[in-house]
Structure 1
């Protein structure tokens, strides 16, 4: 994640920052100016900008400086993104354009997952605010603003400001993408077998329904949430979970996650997490 960016103390300078941002839509400095402008509207400790296209690996727009790209970020781009609530919400169509918080889109047991422990808790992120913009059919841009516990969760006033400026940000991001997308899509790589990672996990050992439930467990859904999603009884889900552990010789969600990582390694030996 990126280093802390100090929020402007004088919010009345945001018009100048907006003008500067518009002037850089065709320049390499665009993402830095975007960060500066957003910092005039909302406090945050990190900013990540990525684009999602269908089932392809995310393309990073910011930060592009290798010195600002942590190992966690590389792991996310390599394979961990397939367990990302934001990625899955966009892919499934349950999250459209607009401003949202991670807490509003994450599965109900997301904080118990290994993905959360490594990508959020380890870095002391207590809140994440996402601005999602549709760039083209099946292509979305997500601006993720992370806040550490020292800042607390986003205030109502900050969220109101972000919602107010969202239409402006949306228009500017689209203009940026029209002018600079070729600088990024040339590095676009297909995830290949990765889009089958969850659906093939446990193949030959688990039943199709158990594979489906194992995937939902990995994403952070509780038994109750799984029951609601699949329209089956809570008791049935519990039976399936018990069978999953028996068949995989596991006893905890962490054990399942470890096996899932091994499965990913088999699918893509060049990736790391």
Structure 2
């Protein structure tokens, strides 16, 4: 018999040590399967103003080729779990049957393999879905669905109760993973924007300006005085002023406002 405490400890350890790795959820899925068996699983993130993301694919290739793409593009709007999350569902583990409208399981959406990525070509192939649901601080709904397919029984009360004990750990792991993922993407975006800006300065009048003069332009246009630019470049203020004079002469301008306009024009042109 599986020792639930041991599995809880294992899941918690995995979440703490590997929370930034999306692959950790496949291992967590395997651990949960020892508590109550399920054959397919998936994790989705539903940001409030962006297209959803699939964070973990444990569907074992049952979906039609374009089903997931169509689901993420808009099919998710018909998903009862998503709708419940958007209506303020409290954190926890839920049966889909508890969240769904009365005719949901006879709906075209639920039975369609075209937009429901957890349905195979066989109608009614999904016997039951239960889902860990939570919300990140930014309002993103996070859902970890565990499913049983044709040929299996629905999750028993004992199965559900055993898995429900994992809800606090699973949901905390989902939230922390999403926070870290979001912060990483923000840093990558900032780095990309910085690199794009730096490239713009490197490309600015490169046939007429030396690399050092381009450095001076970048600092001056970012709001540095001649003295501040000198400190950043490790040269004297007088040298910066000489560079400035040479830059103006090479570009045929006579003021920093003209330099700014010239730089903006070069960005728009590119």
TM-score range, shorter chain: 0.5 to 0.7
Distance of aligned partners of 1:134 and 1:106 in 2 relative to their CA distance in 1, 3 Å threshold: same
Corresponding residue for residue 232 of structure 2:
none
8 Å CA contact 1:102, 1:128 repeated in 2: yes
Distance of aligned partners of 1:66 and 1:117 in 2 relative to their CA distance in 1, 3 Å threshold: closer
Alignment of 1:1-273 (within 5 A): 10-11=2-3, 14=7, 15-63=9-57, 70-71=64-65, 72-93=67-88, 95-118=89-112, 119=116, 120=119, 122=123, 124-182=125-183
Greater relative CO, 1 or 2 (CA 8 Å, sep 6+): 1
**Alpha-carbon distance, 1:153 to partner:** 0.4
Output the TM-score relative to the length of structure 1: 0.57
**Alpha-carbon distance, 1:67 to partner:** 6.6
Distance of aligned partners of 1:91 and 1:16 in 2 relative to their CA distance in 1, 3 Å threshold: closer
**Alpha-carbon distance, 1:127 to partner:** 0.4
8 Å CA contact 1:45, 1:148 repeated in 2: yes
Distance 1:124 1:137 in 2: 35
Structure 1 stretches of 5 or more lacking a match? 1-8, 187-273
8 Å CA contact 2:35, 2:163 repeated in 1: yes
Distance 2:15 2:78 in 1: 33
**Alpha-carbon distance, 1:60 to partner:** 0.9
Corresponding residue for residue 4 of structure 1:
none
Distance 1:142 1:108 in 2: 22
Output the TM-score relative to the length of structure 2: 0.57
Cα-Cα RMSD? 3.0
8 Å CA contact 2:111, 2:123 repeated in 1: yes
Structure whose alpha-carbon radius of gyration is higher? 2
Residues 170-209 of structure 1: CA deviation (Å, up to 9, x unaligned)? 22222222322356789xxxxxxxxxxxxxxxxxxxxxxx
Q: How many residues get paired?
A: 178
Distance 1:17 1:65 in 2: 20
Distance of aligned partners of 1:137 and 1:44 in 2 relative to their CA distance in 1, 3 Å threshold: same
